[in-house]
Amino acid sequence: MLLRDRVAVVTGAGAGIGRAIAQALSERGARVAVVDIDEARARETARLLAGTGGQALALEADTSRSGDVDRAVTAACEALGPLEIMVNNAGVLDGYWSVDEMDEALWRRVVEINLTGVFLGCKRALREMLPRGRGRIINMASAAGLGGTGGGAAYVAAKHGVVGLTRQMAVAYSGRGITVNAICPGVVLTEFRAHSREILGPGTPDMSGRGIAVSDEQVRAITPAGRRGTAEEVAAAACFLASDGAAYITGHALAVDGGWRAR
C-alpha cells in the first residue's frame, strides 16, 4: 500500500489507460476521483474501485473547460481530502490527418482537449499543491510527443506540447515540492479511436483503418518488443512516478513504448 490514503484525481479515467491508472492507484491505497466527460464510464470505473475495497468518486467533467476542471477538483478535495496526485490523462485522437487535409475546427478541438486540458488540470492542481508544498503531477503525453509519428498534425503537436509544458513546470515547481513528469506510451490496445470519434462529434472522419500501428504486423514493425503494451503497464509507470521512490524524478518524459522511440 505504497500510496495509502493519498488523494488522486485521474482525468479520462472512465476507460482504457486512465481506468487502469485509477485501479492501480486504488490498489496501492490511494483515494481516487475518477473524472471523465462520459459520466457512465466514470461511474463504472468508480464502481470497479469500490468493488475491490477502494474509496472512489465519479465526476463528470470536460477537461478542456476550466469551470468543469475547477468543479471536479473542488469536489474531489471536499470528498476525499487534500490533493496529492494529479494525473492529466484525458485525450482524443485526431484521425491521423496531416496539415493539408485537417480542418481548423478539428485542430482546435484536439489541441483544446489534449494540450489546453492538461494546462487547466495542472493549473487547478497547483492551487491545491503549492500552499502545502507537495504534490505529484503526471501528464499523459505519447510516443507521438517524442517524434513525428503516432498521430496526425494536431495530436503530434499537442503531445509535444504536453512534454514541453511538463519540462517548463518541472523547472518552475520542483523547488517547491512538486514533481511534474510525462508518460509517453507507445501502442496500447484501448477503445481510443471509437471514444475519440464519439467525443469529437458528427462529421469526424472514420479513423478505424488509419495510422501506422493498426495491424499486428505494423505494430511488430515499429515496436522492438514486438507487441502492443497494456494499459496496466502504463499504469505501473504512473504509480512509480506518484510514489515516494520517484521524489527526485521531475521533468522526465518516460517512454513506455516497447522500445519504439529507442530506434
Q: Which residues are known to be catalytic?
A: 155
- Residue 24 as a binder of ligand NAD (CB under 6 A): the answer is no
Contacts with ligand NAD, 167-196, as mask; x by CB under 6 A: ------------------x-xx-xxx--x-
By CB under 6 A, residue 204 contacts ligand NAD: no
Q: For residue 98, how far is the Cα from the chain centroid?
A: 23
Which of 26, 64, 179, 250 contacts ligand NAD by CB under 6 A? Answer: 64
Alpha helices in the chain (DSSP H): 16-27, 39-51, 66-80, 104-111, 117-132, 153-173, 192-200, 216-222, 231-242
How many residues can be counted in the chain? 263
Q: Give yes or no for residue 91 binding ligand NAD (CB under 6 A).
A: yes
Q: Which of 43, 167 has the CB closer to ligand NAD? A: 43
Q: Which of residues 115-134 bind ligand NAD (CB under 6 A)?
A: 117
Verify binding: residue 89, ligand NAD, rule CB under 6 A.
yes
Near ligand NAD by CB under 6 A: residue from 17, 86, 120, 207 = 17
Q: How many C-beta atoms surround the C-beta of residue 108 within 10 A? A: 12
- Judged by CB under 6 A, does residue 214 bind ligand NAD? no
For 74, the grid coordinates are: 473542488
Distance CA 26, CA 47 (A): 12
> Position of cell 504512473?
238
The helix or strand, by DSSP H or E, that contains position 194, with its residue range, turns out to be: helix 192-200
Which lies closer to ligand NAD via its Cβ, residue 44 or residue 130?
Answer: 44
For ligand NAD, the binding residue among 14, 54, 121, 251 (CB under 6 A) is: 14
When asked if residue 197 is in the footprint of ligand NAD (CB under 6 A), the reply is no
Is the torsion defined by CA of 135, 136, 140, 146 positive or negative?
A: positive
- DSSP code of residue 92: -
Place of cell 489507460: 17
76 backbone dihedrals φ, ψ, rounded to 5°: -60, -45
> Which stretches of the chain bind ligand NAD, using CB under 6 A?
11-12, 14-18, 36-38, 41, 61-64, 89-92, 113, 117, 140, 142, 185, 187-188, 190-192, 195, 199
